[in-house]
Amino acid sequence: MSRVLVLVLGAGELGLPILRSLSNSPTPSRPAITLLIRPSTLSSPSPSKSQELAHLRDLGVSFLAADIATSNATELASHFRNFDIIISCTGFAGGSGTQLKLARAVCAAGVAHYYPWQFGVDYDIIGPEAANGIFREQCEVRRLLRGQDKTKWTIVSTGMFTSFLFEAFFGVVEGLESAGADGEAVVVRALGSWGNEVTVTTPEDIGRVVSRLVLEDRRAGVVFTAGDTVSYGRLADLVERQIGKKVRREVWSLDFLRAELETDPENQIKKYRCLFAEGKGVSWDRASTVNEELNIKTTDVQGFLSSEASPPREQ
């Protein structure tokens, strides 16, 4: 029986965990894994980049030199047609139009199964016009895939990456790195209201789920994962428990966030804040997820906070 040929696009925050999970699969079912990588990256003199490439080779990953940014859909299709499964982990860094270009290339190449970059919220519920059209292209990718019947596709809805909740620039949790040192309080903000919920999953957990789907489950359509689904109120409680003292709680109302976006309509972070404050399509019941169905253990918010990378509890 010939090995399944898998091409992964991108080896960043999500791509690397997926590559690791695929490479760690049992030998009989382990696919032949290839990473599409820019030619300039392959020839980079950077020692750190050389170490990254060596690590990937140790995982058994082969390389295909191509540049998504400078290639058109026809050129990409010529590369894609040699693979059975393609998993896009490119994120939004490629800029507007990249996800549609990839989907068109995959379909033109007749790839058997595609996992598009839709590792996020429920775009079907959110729709193309929410938050100044931040996910219009993602909705168009779904329309394109549903309009054809040659390429099987699986969309893995993961919610927000768990770490994103704690990024200072997002504004939901601030000061956690220092745990409120020098008298400064840790701040936890609710987007919309304290009862609003958000689903989060770590990239490592997503990697395990995707690997299982690729190697064993093979289902098509939209599936959902969740490390946790947490309200902003419970998030504040969990942060307090972790650091051992009270946090300062603030609410950014939807009206406030929309006014902020009006003053800076192209700001992606402000678009995200509005989207999550609206509270539609950004959370789902953990009990109904594919990780629960397949008995894949995932990290919840409390587990994430308790990890070695998080600040220690105050004594």
Domains 5-160+202-224 and 161-199+228-283+294-305 share a fold: no
Could you tell me if 275 and 126 are in contact, meaning their C-beta atoms sit under 8 angstroms apart? Answer: yes
- Whether the CA torsion 300, 306, 308, 309 is positive or negative: it is positive
Which superfamily, per CATH, for 5-160+202-224? NAD(P)-binding Rossmann-like Domain (3.40.50.720)
* Letter string b/e over residues 286-313, b meaning 16 or more CB atoms within 10 A of that residue's CB: beebbbbeeeeebbbbbebbbeeebbee
As a whole number of angstroms, the distance between CA 232 and CA 92 comes to: 26
Q: Is the pLDDT of residue 310 over 60?
A: no
Could you tell me if 298 and 201 are in contact, meaning their C-beta atoms sit under 8 angstroms apart? Answer: yes
pLDDT tens per residue, range 104-118: 999 999 999 999 999
Give mean pLDDT, residues 160-187. 86
Residue ranges of domains in the chain:
5-160+202-224, 161-199+228-283+294-305
Could you tell me if 232 and 171 are in contact, meaning their C-beta atoms sit under 8 angstroms apart? Answer: no
Q: What is the CATH number of domain 161-199+228-283+294-305?
A: 3.90.25.10
Give mean pLDDT, residues 84-106. 92
Of 29-33, 45-49, 183-187, 224-228, which range is least confident? Answer: 183-187
Q: Is the pLDDT of residue 164 over 60?
A: yes
pLDDT tens per residue, range 274-299: 999 999 999 999 999 999 999 999 99
Among 196, 272, 278, CA closest to 230: 196
Could you tell me if 30 and 1 are in contact, meaning their C-beta atoms sit under 8 angstroms apart? Answer: no
- Give me the pLDDT at residue 255, please: 97
Give mean pLDDT, residues 60-68. 96
* Letter string b/e over residues 181-200, b meaning 16 or more CB atoms within 10 A of that residue's CB: eeeeebbbbbbbebebbbbb
